[in-house]
Amino acid sequence: MAQCCINPSILSADFVNLEAELRRISNADAVHVDVMDNHFVPNLTIGLPVVQRIQAVSPVPLDAHLMIADADRWAPGFADAGVASVTFHAEASIAPIKLARELRARGAKAGMALRPGTPVEPYLDMLPELDLLLIMTVEPGFGGQSFLDLTLPKIRRARAAIDGSGVNVALQVDGGITEETIVRAAEAGANVFVAGSAVYGAADPAEAIERLRAAANR
């Protein structure tokens, strides 16, 4: 399977210097923007106005990860803002199929995320409605946590379902991705990798991206 993308998470960047921080990852495939509302997860980050400013200056497309309650109400606004890929949490949506269709209708790629404890099987029939499936490899809310190996079988089952149905859905993993864990996630079938601390914690983020890419392709 062709490997694809390294999407650094700006959660681990310096929030006072976002424009400069974005320039440091211009060799990335996209920038992962973590939106948290202090309800769906016990942490608060940025909202739509800041995302719009990131969008205006980013050298790479935006991959927004919405860790917010009432996704049905708030996610379409991110698509309207021109965010290339908008990912909502299945656990935060009442009508995920309707929402995915709305995101696509507004010109965004439709992504859906699952917490580590949420099974993928109930959602397999809606794969054709999605451009991206995000399997969280930590509990969402904070950067710098350890990769949960217990998610690997779910990644494998999702990969088998995607390949079996012939749909073009990216399989993203997010949380605890390092040069070591990316190898296991890639082997299990993931092809889009979010990395926060492994990129922005490195002396040279651009070089860290290349090392992760090489490890994923190994």
By the criterion CB under 6 A, which residues form the site for ligand DX5? 9, 11-12, 32, 34, 65, 138, 140-145, 174-177, 194-198
> Of ligand DX5, Zn ion, none, which one does residue 177 interact with (CB within 5 to 8 Å by kind)?
ligand DX5
CB 93 → ligand DX5: shortest distance, Å? 17
CA–CA dist 83, 73 (Å, integer): 16
Q: Which residue has the tokens 């209708």?
A: 105
**3-class state of residue 120 by DSSP:** coil
Which one, 55 or 137, has the nearer CB to ligand DX5? 137
CA–CA dist 75, 103 (Å, integer): 8
CB 74 → ligand DX5: shortest distance, Å? 16
> Of ligand DX5, Zn ion, none, which one does residue 195 interact with (CB within 5 to 8 Å by kind)?
ligand DX5
> Of ligand DX5, Zn ion, none, which one does residue 176 interact with (CB within 5 to 8 Å by kind)?
ligand DX5
CA–CA dist 197, 195 (Å, integer): 6
> What is the footprint of Zn ion within residues 102-131 (CB under 5 A)?
none
Which one, 139 or 167, has the nearer CB to ligand DX5? 139
Please check whether residue 163 is in contact with residue 193, taking contact to mean a CB–CB distance below 8 angstroms. no
DSSP class per residue in 174-215:
ESS--TTHHHHHHHHT--EEEESHHHHTSSSHHHHHHHHHHH
Residue from the set 174, 188, 192, 209 that interacts with Zn ion by CB under 5 A? 174
CA–CA dist 68, 72 (Å, integer): 10
Site string for Zn ion, 192-211 (x = CB under 5 A): --------------------
Give catalytic residue positions.
34, 174
Region binding Zn ion by CB under 5 A among candidate stretches 29-37, 80-88, 146-154, 176-184: 29-37
Which one, 96 or 141, has the nearer CB to ligand DX5? 141
Which one, 144 or 153, has the nearer CB to ligand DX5? 144
Q: Which of 100, 93, 89, 47 is CA-nearest to residue 72?
A: 93
Q: Which of 21, 2, 19, 16 is CA-nearest to residue 202?
A: 21
- 34 contacts Zn ion (rule: CB under 5 A): yes
Which residue of this chain has its Cβ atom nearest to ligand DX5 in the complex?
Answer: 196
Please check whether residue 152 is in contact with residue 175, taking contact to mean a CB–CB distance below 8 angstroms. no
